[in-house]
Amino acid sequence: MQAMAIARFPVVVLDCPDPQLLAEFYSALLDWPIASNDPDMCFVRAEYGDGIGFQKVEGYHPPQWPGQDVPQQMHIDVAVDDLDTAETAVLGLGATKHEHQPGTSFRVFLDPAGHPFCLCSD
């Protein structure tokens, strides 16, 4: 007998000061529509089910990567075809390139709320 999944469509939820702003950023980055747009909790979701949530947190402090005074706790890696083209695009969406770049096959950025994420070449 095959086991049935208890749940489906897992969603990573990021704490942030402005869920709507972050949902707009990731919606544009991933070309996923905003599935739920509330001042306290927003979601973007792909047609095939993957999603990311954004939860408002009062007194939010962004991660201080690569240091651990305020650890990142998690980050998102996204695959891209061309690092230079993708870098230009995410900067245009409001990301910032982190000064610490430890590799050559990926680049580290901060989303508008300060969460590290990486653009990774295939």
Q: Which domains does the chain have, with CATH numbers?
A: 11-121 (3.10.180.10)
pTM of the predicted model as reported, rounded to 2 decimal places? 0.77
* Spacing of C-alpha 70 from chain mean position: 17
pLDDT tier at 113 (50, 70, 90 boundaries)?
Answer: very high
pLDDT tier at 122 (50, 70, 90 boundaries)?
Answer: low
B/e letters for 13-33, b = 16+ CB within 10 Å, e = fewer, are ebbbbbbbebbbbbbebbebe
Read off the pLDDT of residues 61-103 as tens digits, 9 standing for 90 and up: 998 888 888 887 777 888 899 999 999 999 999 999 999 999 8
Residue 6 has pLDDT above 70, yes or no: no
Pairing of strands 76-80, 96-97: unpaired
Coil, helix or strand at residue 88:
helix
